[in-house]
């Protein structure tokens, strides 16, 4: 009888910070992730895209997001669709130029299942079932209430932004389901996604049990709104009362003690985004802020609890040790201030929150609260790196990643700082499964090859520090609407347009400056010129176009048009003249 091929399990946390979990120096109770790390390997050089759906496109395609359809996130495309119309790689969904991992493994007779967040297309033909997952429970947009409570959508006649969900965004296998009536009454995102995931495995037929499986479990936690059961929040009561700077200092000390960052690392300045320092906040403001962090910790805690449930099942069935497990975050911690984010015509997040939610101190974390924790707590989680999610600095793209796979790993409990990317997971899985990528023709269509690289040799010899996945001439780039970077070896050039950054190219030697504190652009002009040449190569290879300037102009015009309509309306009211029909 032929040996059964390996199973594959990819678990994704949404907006998890680098140091949030105990394997990465955090204080949050995550024993199952710690066990995974002790029996596997921790990557400290793992990199993703700077935001959510581009990372997921790269994860499932093995290539750059500009090739796979997420050159720009769908939420941005909606604001200026004409710019991106008919531009390959800017469809706003996982396009059909790529062979998705689920599709490839499905054709290799894998049992494929997915439970959680998709964020790679909102139509049936773009959903997870259409892209290779046989069993599915999925929320299609980028975020939503963790208790499935959406009061701002009840009796709504207008289509809302995707971050506030309604019907038409939940899928069970190949069909849409009603999020209000077809999901459990005791819904909580991490618990419910895991319930369905385990049910899919438990309900396999006798024939399906003979197949290897590919499981994809992308949690929506700990993405805002920050919500968790109160009994879990209670575990963290008072733990963050001394504020984000104190937390950052504790985390940094722990990272150094665990050998995850160099002992002489110089951390970046605190990520502030014009927020006031902790010492300037009132006692009430401090309590509400630390309470948000307590809820966040509870959300991470529950991710770990549910990973433990999956592990226990795989141990019980004897499948765990033949399963290649990857745990990762999709980008850096979320530090955005959401108050002014538009949700419905004329309404911001702050407007919606005030009207429909109760964010009193005692209620924070409940189903009818809606809070986020802001840039300083995010900065504590990304330290020593600079910035956070949506930045091309290390704080936006440098993420935790744990791998467990006994058949390949000859040594466990190790930490490696080797540079790796999320694009590597597809070629690694195909390598371990003994499969070739199907390009150039797959399922009757032309598909592109992967850009990532297999970790197989590296996993077999993790103690060999001379082994590199990417050599000193390989070019890896990042870009989302002008937020850009390019890396070759330990050198990195980055560009952050205002207000995120200075609007000029910066240059860093990451072998000496993980915090990206000392800009070498002026002192090393030839190296910067070389790196910009590498960026141009990346630009051309991925089919990018310079969307940033066009997008900013479109937003200005949209704003001016809106102001003109409002002015004309006000003038009509003032003069008491109305158009006749």
φ/ψ of 574, rounded to 5, equals -65, -35
Distance from C-alpha of 574 to C-alpha of 581, rounded to nearest angstrom: 20
399 is known as an active-site residue: no
| Secondary structure E strands in 286-357 | 323-329, 342-344, 347-348
CA pair distance 232, 302, nearest whole angstrom: 8
Asked if residue 217 lies in contact with residue 260, where contact means CB atoms within 8 angstroms, the answer is no
Token reading at 95: 């396009």
Task: List Cβ neighbours of 480 (8 Å cut-off, separation of 6 or more).
Answer: 49, 50, 51, 54, 65, 71, 72, 73, 390, 392
Q: List the structure tokens of 65.
A: 């997001």
C-alpha–C-alpha distance, residues 100 and 447, integer Å: 10
Q: Which of 119, 149, 271, 437 is catalytic?
A: 119
Kind of pairing between the strands at 323-329 and 7-13: parallel
The C-alpha angle 409, 414, 416, rounded to 5 degrees, equals 100
Q: Residue 188: which residues within 8 A CB-CB, separation 6 or more? A: 146, 147, 228, 229, 302
Q: Give the residue from 137, 511, 151 showing the smallest Cα distance to 367.
A: 151
Cα–Cα distance measured from residue 136 to residue 171, given in angstroms and rounded to the nearest whole number: 7
Query: How far apart are alpha carbons 504 and 517 in whole angstroms?
Result: 15
Q: In what order do the strands lie in the sheet with 483-488?
A: 476-480, 483-488, 491-495, 505-509
Q: Count the alpha carbons within 13 Å of 261 in the hemisphere toward its beta carbon.
A: 25
Q: Which of 52, 66, 271, 399 is catalytic?
A: 52
Residue closest to 408 by CA, chosen among 423, 435, 428, 437: 428
Q: Which secondary structure element, helix H or strand E, spans residue 506, and what is its range?
A: strand 505-509
Strand bridging mode 445-446 / 441-442: antiparallel
Is residue 301 a contact partner of residue 30, using CB atoms and an 8 Å limit? yes
Q: Is 568 left (phi over 0), alpha (psi -120 to 50) or beta?
A: alpha
Tell me the C-alpha distance between 312 and 303, whole Å.
14
- Catalytic positions are 52, 119
């Amino acid at each position: 009888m032929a040996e059964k091929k390996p199973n594959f399990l990819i678990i994704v946390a949404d907006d998890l910070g680098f140091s949030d979990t105990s394997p990465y120096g955090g204080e949050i109770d995550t024993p199952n992730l710690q066990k995974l790390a002790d029996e596997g390997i921790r990557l400290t050089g793992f990199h993703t895209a700077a935001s959510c759906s581009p990372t997921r496109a790269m994860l499932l395609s093995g290539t750059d997001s500009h090739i796979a359809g997420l050159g720009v996130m769908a939420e941005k495309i909606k604001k200026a669709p004409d710019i991106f119309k008919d531009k390959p790689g800017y469809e706003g969904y996982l396009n059909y130029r790529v062979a998705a991992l689920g599709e490839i493994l499905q054709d290799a007779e894998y049992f494929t299942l997915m439970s959680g967040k998709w964020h790679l297309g909102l139509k049936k033909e773009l959903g997870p079932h259409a892209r290779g997952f046989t069993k599915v429970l999925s929320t299609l947009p980028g975020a939503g209430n963790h208790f499935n409570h959406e009061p701002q959508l009840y009796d709504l006649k207008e289509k809302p932004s995707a971050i506030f969900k309604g019907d038409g965004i939940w899928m069970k296998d190949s069909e849409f389901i009603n999020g209000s009536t077809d999901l459990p009454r005791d819904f909580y995102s991490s618990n419910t996604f895991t319930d369905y995931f385990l049910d899919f495995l438990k309900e396999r037929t006798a024939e399906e049990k003979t197949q290897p499986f590919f499981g994809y479990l992308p949690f929506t936690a700990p993405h805002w709104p920050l919500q968790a059961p109160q009994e879990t929040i209670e575990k963290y009561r008072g733990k963050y009362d001394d504020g984000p700077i104190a937390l950052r200092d504790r985390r940094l000390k722990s990272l150094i003690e665990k050998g995850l960052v160099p002992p002489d690392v110089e951390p970046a300045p605190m990520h502030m985004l014009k927020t006031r320092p902790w010492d300037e906040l009132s006692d009430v403001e401090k309590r509400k802020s630390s309470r948000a962090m307590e809820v966040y910790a509870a959300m991470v805690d529950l991710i770990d609890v549910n990973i433990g449930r999956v592990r226990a099942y795989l141990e019980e069935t004897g499948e765990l040790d033949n399963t290649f497990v990857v745990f990762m975050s999709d980008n850096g911690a979320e530090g955005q201030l959401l108050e002014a984010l538009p949700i419905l015509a004329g309404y911001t997040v702050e407007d919606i929150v005030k009207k429909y939610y109760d964010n009193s101190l005692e209620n924070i974390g409940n189903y009818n609260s809606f809070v986020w924790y802001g840039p300083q707590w995010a900065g504590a989680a990304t330290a020593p790196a600079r910035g956070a999610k949506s930045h091309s600095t290390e704080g936006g793209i440098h993420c935790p990643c744990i791998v467990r796979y006994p058949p390949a790993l000859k040594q466990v409990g190790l930490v490696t700082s080797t540079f790796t990317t999320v694009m590597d997971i597809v070629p690694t899985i195909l390598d371990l499964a003994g499969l070739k990528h199907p390009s150039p023709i797959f399922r009757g269509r032309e598909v592109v090859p992967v850009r990532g690289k297999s970790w197989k040799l590296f996993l077999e010899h993790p103690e060999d520090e001379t082994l590199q996945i990417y050599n000193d001439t390989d070019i890896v780039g990042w870009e989302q609407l002008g937020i850009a970077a390019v890396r070759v070896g330990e050198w990195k050039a980055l560009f952050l347009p205002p207000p995120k950054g200075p609007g000029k190219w910066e240059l860093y030697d990451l072998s000496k400056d993980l915090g990206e504190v000392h800009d070498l652009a002026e002192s090393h002009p030839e190296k910067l010129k070389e790196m910009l040449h590498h960026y141009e190569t990346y630009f051309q290879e991925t089919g990018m176009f310079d969307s940033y300037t066009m997008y900013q102009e479109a937003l200005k015009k949209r704003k001016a048009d809106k102001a003109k309509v409002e002015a004309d309306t006000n003038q009509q009211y003032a003069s008491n003249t109305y158009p006749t029909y």
